[in-house]
Amino acid sequence: MDRRKIAYGLLVLLVGLILWFIPPPAGMDLNGWRLLAIFIAVILGLILRPLPQGAIVIIGVGVSALTGILKIGDALSGFSNSTVWLIFTAYMFARAFLKTRLGERIAYYFIRALGRRTLFLGYSISLTDLVLAPAMPSNTARAGGVIYPIVRSICHAYDSEPGPTAKKVGKFLIFNEYHTTLVTGAMFLTGMAANPLVAQLASQTIKATVTWTNWLIGALLPGIITFLIIPPLIYFITKPEIKVSEEAPKLAREKLKELGPATRQEKILAVIFLIVLALWILGDTIKLDATITALVGLSLMLIFGVLGWEDVLGEKGGWDALIWFGGLVSLATGLNKLGVINWIAEASKGIVSGWEWLAAFVVLAIIYYYVHYLMASMTAHVAAFFPAFAAVMVGVGAPPLFVALVLGYLTNLMAATTHYGTGPSPIYFGSGYLDIKEWWGYGFLISVLYLLLWFGIGLPYWKLLGLW
């Protein structure tokens, strides 16, 4: 282990110990305060990462049980949570799309059909992300694992490399796909790994029931409009030098020829995914839990050989997500049971005391959004800030479901600002097509546009839906 990680680990331990031995503030239970100390140390660990995030969360869960703050059943309760298993099974779908190469095939179909004009080439890549988003909760797997290699191949075909030739098409395609994956992540509960955590914390802290369907319906209008606006906006910002070319469709035809006819596994996966997607959409109507649907989909993939058991065992990202997600749910549930969340909400009401609730909500939401400049993980951001912000918002009169959904959407869009805000950030920034000044400058402008679009279009739309 390098010295920097050792220093970070000691800092996390020191912060936890200092908070542990400070007397609790008036009105807070001692066990609640000490669990909060553990929780804060865990969040700091997720930010600094002296160890992998799953290891940090396991240590936090273990300490909470060892000290008797949580009974062992409560400390492990998060691992039986249905939302934890929803995200795990969604990772299995992501692995299936990668293993069968169905994700690649979908991308090349779009590129072959739309890729002659550079703007439409951007749309074809965006459409691939949109199609894959419901089944791939890891935006890193989706944008980084499936789409990035394709985008990079297209750039190479156009002789557009980092440096003097970046503006040919590369700068546009790289930046467009990065922002597309933020928008598509916001549109689906299973579109980004931290979205189910938002749903779970909302259930625990503000008693809001977020489902796959109401998340999608709430995101539909602002999401589609943003999705349509982003490619031409980034096209205008980056000004690609090549406007029309046959290179991308030619590459797509060659790649599809290499892939050959759709395999049996691809066809079966496509059918299973469509069935699962339909059941997710109809889940509220037919009273079928989203996790049950996901487990049915995983079972069908195993039965028909799309995935083998070794694939399930080898999906490190899914098991890692199950560990850190389940552990965070356990700690958050404990904080709620011990009254910490209510205490924070009551103590924070004075910040917006006397304000009209909608104005208070918008201001707090913007603060929640831009504090992500300090964060390198959406999961850590949600765990650290969502319970407190949501509780304060509901405390001043905002409807719970409205709060949960809007903060969930903003959790995805807030990664517009930096080159470290979410998993795909270092991949796309690291490609070298944009320098840090461009990434931060353009990113800030687009982050403002996201707020204007999602509040400007979203607020009247959400009013029409009866969310507020």
Kindly indicate the confidence band of residue 1, based on its pLDDT and cuts at 50, 70 and 90.
low
Looking at residue 38, its pLDDT comes to 95
Q: Residue 345 pLDDT more than 70?
A: no
DSSP readout, 48-61? Answer: H-SS-HHHHHHHHH
Q: Give the Cα separation of 142 and 145 in Å (integer).
A: 6
Mean pLDDT along residues 336-341 = 82
Q: Which residues contact 1 (CB under 8 A, 6 or more apart)?
A: 50
> Which range, 93-102, 198-207, 280-289, is most confident?
198-207
At position 464, the amino acid (one-letter code) is L
Looking at residue 104, its pLDDT comes to 85
Integer CA distances (angstroms), 139 to 148, 167, 213, 450, in order: 11, 25, 20, 18
Kindly indicate the confidence band of residue 348, based on its pLDDT and cuts at 50, 70 and 90.
low
> Are the CB atoms for 242 and 120 separated by under 8 Å?
no
Q: Residue 375 pLDDT more than 80?
A: no
Integer CA distances (angstroms), 390 to 50, 371, 403, in order: 29, 15, 6
> Which range, 81-95, 139-153, 399-413, is most confident?
399-413
**Token digits of residue 112:** 């072959």
Q: Residue 374 pLDDT more than 80?
A: no
pLDDT digits (tens, 9 = 90+) for 86-96: 778 877 887 88
Kindly indicate the confidence band of residue 123, based on its pLDDT and cuts at 50, 70 and 90.
very high
**Token digits of residue 135:** 């089944």
Q: Give the Cα separation of 462 and 458 in Å (integer).
A: 6
Domains of the chain, residue spans: 82-316
> Are the CB atoms for 16 and 287 separated by under 8 Å?
no
Mean pLDDT along residues 199-220 = 94
Instruction: Return the minimum-mean-pLDDT range out of 144-148, 176-180, 249-253, 349-353.
Output: 349-353
> Which range, 4-8, 217-221, 341-345, is most confident?
217-221
